[in-house]
Amino acid sequence: MKVYEVGGAVRDELLGLPVKDRDFVVVGATPEQMVALGYRAVGRDFPVFLHPTTHEEYALARTERKTGRGYRGFQIFASPEVTLEDDLARRDLTINAMARAERGDLIDPFNGAGDIQSRILRHIGPAFVEDPVRVLRVARFAARFGFDVAPETIILMREMVLEGEVDHLVAERVWQEFARGLMAEHPVRMFMVLRECGALARILPELDCLFGVPQPAQHHPEVDTGEHVMRALRCAAQRGESLEVRFALLVHDLGKGTTPRDEWPRHIGHEGRSLPLIEALCERLRVPVACRELALAVAKWHTHVHRALELRPETLLKVLEQCDAFRRPERFDSMLRACECDARGRLGFEERSYPQAERMREAARAAAAVNTADIARSAPKPDEIRQLVHLARLAAIRGALR
């Protein structure tokens, strides 16, 4: 019985990154031996055990055989005869197929260390095509590390798309990979890799169709809408924005993909067209409520925020009320942060100031300072309270923005 540290921990150590979780492979052991040594069995689909003291995962060396469509269509084989190299060979990428022996020796049968130095994501063998989740994982690793994908791996990923493998991905797993990729250091890389292999058109067709659709004339149309969305997302990553902000930017312009060609120079009404597309996408991928709500708010109101310097106090208050800025100030601030990244996603606007956000915040602060409790107590009739609060907030905004 031999124990080896494997996978992400070995990879991250070579990359100089902090290691969060450690996984181990046990060669030459049976489940009965593991239990006898005090390990607790937890694997449902294959033999995995928790160490009796550290509670780290120890899996018996195994191989896999494709038996059906999708990422669940595998038959697992684990026995003492399975070698370490057999186990490493079933993994997806060379950088994930390295191991360390108990003495610290690096075992690297597929030159993962060399690919780390070359900053390349490369598949191990033809069995890569058997698991459609690997398409998402490769794209997510590209976002995390900023690595390029080997041409031969892109070819295999295209084959998987053409053969319909990615159509069998379950929504929860797709969202899980997207969320992790969105929060990576280079999230744009994820979507560019998915687009290059054709998977974006199958998984997020609403986003894929934005590439080639020009921006409105006043927004530097030499950058098309898809490229603009990627630039806005890159800005959000550079500013360390939340998952909710990044997702909102990813989908805020979906309506432009449905604009008739003869209306492309203006894209009038694209905000309204975006809303049902976002709703449908969030339902399809089981997107969390916080992400969905912010995405809808940004899609509906970002053009108003961009025009904040020219809006009348009445319109500013309307935006604040309909954005629920007074009851949910944190979400309102996230919306403004998304709008600023959207503005900076235009070519030539990357370093420009965005006073619109401060004007919206100033209006919100003034209106929020109104003592609604006093108004409620002094209102002649209960049904007049809302209108009186509205008028008081409007007066406060007018006074603050003179």
Please classify residue 247 by burial: count the beta carbons closer than 10 Å to its beta carbon, then call 0-12 exposed, 13-18 middle and 19+ buried.
Answer: buried
| CATH 3.30.460.10 residue window(s) in the chain | 2-111
Please classify residue 21 by burial: count the beta carbons closer than 10 Å to its beta carbon, then call 0-12 exposed, 13-18 middle and 19+ buried.
Answer: exposed
Assign 26 to helix, strand or coil: strand
And the tokens for 395? 């007066």
Residues 273, 239, 351, 187: is their CA dihedral positive or negative? negative
Domain 2-111, classified CATH 3.30.460.10, yes or no: yes
Residue bearing tokens 């469509």: 69
| CATH 1.10.3210 residue window(s) in the chain | 204-400
- CA–CA distance, 63 with 54 (Å, rounded to integer): 26
Which pLDDT tens digits describe the chain residue by residue (402 residues)? 899 999 899 999 999 999 888 999 999 998 889 999 999 988 776 788 999 999 999 999 888 765 555 445 456 667 788 899 999 998 999 999 999 999 999 999 999 999 999 999 999 998 898 889 999 999 999 999 999 999 999 999 999 999 999 998 999 999 999 999 999 999 999 999 999 999 999 999 999 999 988 887 665 556 789 999 999 999 999 999 999 999 999 999 999 988 877 766 666 667 888 999 999 999 999 999 999 999 999 999 999 999 999 999 999 999 999 999 999 999 999 999 999 999 999 888 888 899 999 999 999 999 999 999 999 988 888 888 889 999 999 999 999 988
pLDDT at 260: 77
Question: Which DSSP string do the residues of 142-158 spell out, in sequence order?
Answer: HHHH--EE-HHHHHHHH
Domain 204-400, classified CATH 1.10.3210, yes or no: yes
pLDDT at 73: 47
pLDDT at 20: 85
Q: How many Cβ atoms sit within 10 Å of the Cβ of residue 162?
A: 12
Cβ-proximal residues to 155 (8 Å cutoff; 6+ apart), any chain: none
pTM: 0.89
